[in-house]
Structure 1
């Protein structure tokens, strides 16, 4: 995780794959915004993780495959420094593509249980990653044409 960001104005494109909410520019780079609820298949009939984006919906800026990517989430409860000894092992076979890298006790929300640690590099399958790269490249070319005309 690089940082939390407020939701900027997103360019939404009809050619975007379903999990892509849109794109924005961050320090000169095109950043695709992926709806985490859709990626994790948490959407039930347009409900949590796939409904309308609220004005204050936060983004988690991550580095995926060496490029900035943002995850759109419903809310952020906080962040914690996690000592290695508090990290609990996770069975990678129990999550898509082994994206659940571990867990730790929930000390932030006050609820009993654990918080799952996700490995950003494993959130997408190899095929999905290629599609996202192709989408990002197409969007960079499209924006370059607009900037060249200005």
Structure 2
């Protein structure tokens, strides 16, 4: 994402609403590649707390981050029956999954439903808008801004190591 794109305000449109703990969050639908039910994930014992596990996907190893830990929202230690993974290509250097308690809906947020938001109230300005929906207000987040630079670098290193370790288990055809 270049600086010009990053500086543009979000003007609404298709939006994916998810729940983490008692908090509803949203992402512009263009930032969500897919929504998956929770498959078995591989998690090395040395993985840091925000890393829920790794998912082999499309020939690569995708890190999956625990949304509750990442956003500081109390959540159960294990994923619930209705948990989902949002695949966010802009999360981290090579994309990542975000574990949420439930992907609730995809809705259109009209421009007139966007409320003022002070960027100083969010870490890394990751909240790009506050939207009024039928279910109440929800923060719209930018996947590209969820991680600090050092976190993105650490996640890339962890992903490379996970890919190397899982690659050792491949059986030649």
Q: Structure 2: how far apart are the matches of 1:66 and 1:127?
A: 11
Q: Check 1:51–1:24 CA distance in 2 against 1; reply closer, same or farther (3 A cut).
A: same
Q: Does 1:86 align with 2:109?
A: no
Give how far 1:18 is off: 1.0
Q: Does 1:134 align with 2:124?
A: no
For residues 66-145 of structure 1, what are the structure 2 equivalents within 5 Å? 67-107=94-134, 110=135, 113-145=136-168
The structure whose residues are more often strand, as a share, is 2
Q: Structure 2: how far apart are the matches of 1:8 and 1:96?
A: 30
Aligned counterpart in structure 2 of residue 59 of structure 1, from 63, 85, 102: 85
Q: Structure 2: how far apart are the matches of 1:126 and 1:79?
A: 29
Q: In the alignment, which residue of structure 1 is the partner of 2:68?
A: 37
Question: Unaligned regions of 5+ residues in structure 1, if any?
Answer: 44-48
Q: Structure 1: how far apart are the matches of 2:63 and 2:76?
A: 16
Aligned residues: 141
Q: Structure 1: how far apart are the matches of 2:76 and 2:148?
A: 20
Q: Structure 2: how far apart are the matches of 1:29 and 1:84?
A: 37
Conserved 8 A contact 2:33-2:87: yes
Q: Structure 2: how far apart are the matches of 1:50 and 1:135?
A: 24
Question: Unaligned regions of 5+ residues in structure 2, if any?
Answer: 1-31
Give how far 1:148 is off: 5.8
Give how far 1:42 is off: 1.2
Give how far 1:59 is off: 1.1
Give how far 1:53 is off: 1.3
Ranked by relative contact order (alpha carbons within 8 Å, sequence separation 6 or more), the top structure is 2
What secondary structure, in the 3-state scheme, does the structure 2 residue paired with 1:128 have? Answer: helix
Q: Structure 1: how far apart are the matches of 2:92 and 2:77?
A: 27
Give how far 1:32 is off: 0.8
